[in-house]
Amino acid sequence: MKEAKAELRKIVAFSEKEHQVFVQNKKLEIVHFHLQNNAFYKDLVGSENYENWEDLPVLNKKNLQKPLLERLSKGYFVKNSYVNKTSGSSGTPFIFAKDKYCHALTWASNMYRFGWYGIDFNTSYQARFYGIPMDFISNKKERFKDFLSHRFRFSIFDLSDDVLEKILKKFQNEKFDYINGYTSSIVLFAKFLQKKNIVLTSICPSLKVCMVTSEMLFDDDKMLLEKQFGIPIVNEYGASELDLIAFQNTEGEWQVNSETLFVEILDENNKAVANGTSGRIVITSLFNKAHPFIRYDLGDIGILDEKSTLQKPILKKLIGRTNDVAVLPSGKKSPGLTFYYVTKSIIEDDGNVKEFVIKQTKIDCFEIEYVSEAELNLEQIKKIKKAIELYLEPHLNFIFIRKNSLERRNRGKLKQFKSML
């Protein structure tokens, strides 16, 4: 860990020219290593040699859905690597590995970025809104890890008002330094505080900052969190198999990690697009020798800011997953989040609806599942239909289903749009 922190400090201190040389060298080094030492990657490339970076194949999640032992590099095994699995929120879960040094760099990177906000992983006390295993042994293991990591975890599988009241009391009795966790759960807590007319720092003045992750953070939700928590809200974007990909800096920019990763935005022909243009987010892990993540298609669509440089790329916008696309009767394709944006702006006007998800069941049929204190009225439903006609197209059918709670994934994530086609 000491070595990883020292290397990260060195990389951060590079001049722009030095950083350019560093990235070029690390790209060559990691590709060469895997072509020489990883049969899976050599097979994928089809040769031990390549002329240009752009000639290398784009690695997708389906490529990785084979036994981990078939994907590990020479000299790396389950016992001498960090092994974990992805959440499966993309629909294609898989097991991955990082060598121990790469994993240490991941933590050094996290510590460096959280440090921008005065958070020290060794001493700062975290209020953690994450999923947790429900079986007794796994639950106790996770709780013990939380204790060692100086954090308290709120299970997010039940966020009824009674449970939120208990969470509120915990904040009254503990000196938390920061909040970290899934966006939708933290937003739900903020809505509860809004209803009770409570600003969180009035009862927990030790709080400094809130980091949200794993799900989209909408502008109005960010404003709600800032108002009800009374602290800065920081948006992070990461992937367990890689690292923190982008983290909001103190200037409010979504700064991309250029120390341990090389990030590309590619079009459908796997060619890099100009900054300011949307495309698939494709990432190379510059240090992972245990397992190749070279030109790895994360399954997300995003835009790099026009002012981005190689040393300081800025993520202008994260649009959503490539498989979260609604196909409409006219043939038009629209990101599923379009529905979410439109519906969200109307459905929450009166504060009645706590949260909702949208499912496309047929090409012209959508289900909106929502949690609220009362049924949506005809006026609200008319507004939603009218807005969707305006933004998308007419003659779409909607079924509104009121529920007591929404189905979350096994780690507690809420998938906001899902196509069943």
Last residue of a domain, one of 209, 231, 253: 231
112 belongs to a structural domain: no
Asked whether residue 269 falls in the same domain as residue 331, the answer is: no
Residues 6+ apart with CB under 8 A from 148: none
Determine the pLDDT at residue 348. 60
Asked whether residue 304 falls in the same domain as residue 358, the answer is: no
Asked whether residue 205 falls in the same domain as residue 127, the answer is: yes
* Angle between helices 219-229 and 183-195 in degrees, nearest 10: 50
Task: Name 334's bridge partners.
Answer: 326
Q: Give the E-state strand segments of 60-125 in sequence order.
A: 81-85, 95-99
Asked whether residue 160 falls in the same domain as residue 226, the answer is: yes
386 belongs to a structural domain: yes
* Cα atoms found within 13 Å of the Cα of residue 65, Cβ hemisphere only: 8
CATH of the domain at 360: 3.30.300
168 belongs to a structural domain: yes
Asked whether residue 45 falls in the same domain as residue 194, the answer is: no
Question: What is the spatial distance between Cα 151 and Cα 77, in angstroms, rounded to a whole number?
Answer: 31
36 belongs to a structural domain: yes
Domain tally, the chain: 3
Residue ranges making up the domain that contains 264: 1-107+238-321
Asked whether residue 218 falls in the same domain as residue 157, the answer is: yes
Give the position of tokens 């298609």.
Answer: 297
Residues 6+ apart with CB under 8 A from 99: 76, 80, 81, 82, 287, 288, 289, 290
CATH of the domain at 158: 3.40.50
5 belongs to a structural domain: yes
Asked whether residue 244 falls in the same domain as residue 103, the answer is: yes
Asked whether residue 145 falls in the same domain as residue 179, the answer is: yes
398 belongs to a structural domain: yes
Task: Name 235's bridge partners.
Answer: 212
CATH of the domain at 310: 3.40.50.12780
Residues 6+ apart with CB under 8 A from 329: 363, 364, 393, 395, 396
DSSP, residue by residue, 144-162: HHHHHTTEEEEE-S---HH
H or E stretch including 10? helix 2-12
113 belongs to a structural domain: no
Q: How many CB atoms lie under 10 A from the CB of residue 52? A: 6
Last residue of a domain, one of 231, 258, 274: 231
H or E stretch including 371? strand 365-372
Mean pLDDT for each consecutive 10-residue tract of the chain (421 residues)? Answer: 94 97 97 96 90 93 87 95 72 82 95 95 93 74 87 82 92 96 88 95 97 84 96 92 93 96 96 95 97 94 95 90 72 71 65 78 91 85 84 87 77 71 81
3 belongs to a structural domain: yes
Last residue of a domain, one of 321, 345, 367: 321
Determine the pLDDT at residue 341. 65
Asked whether residue 192 falls in the same domain as residue 242, the answer is: no
Pure H helices in 38-149: 39-45, 100-115, 136-148
CB 179 within 8 A of CB 186: yes
CB 276 within 8 A of CB 303: yes
Asked whether residue 88 falls in the same domain as residue 171, the answer is: no
Asked whether residue 14 falls in the same domain as residue 99, the answer is: yes
Task: Name 278's bridge partners.
Answer: 303
DSSP-derived secondary structure letter, 183 = H
Q: How many CB atoms lie under 10 A from the CB of residue 80? A: 12
Asked whether residue 5 falls in the same domain as residue 86, the answer is: yes
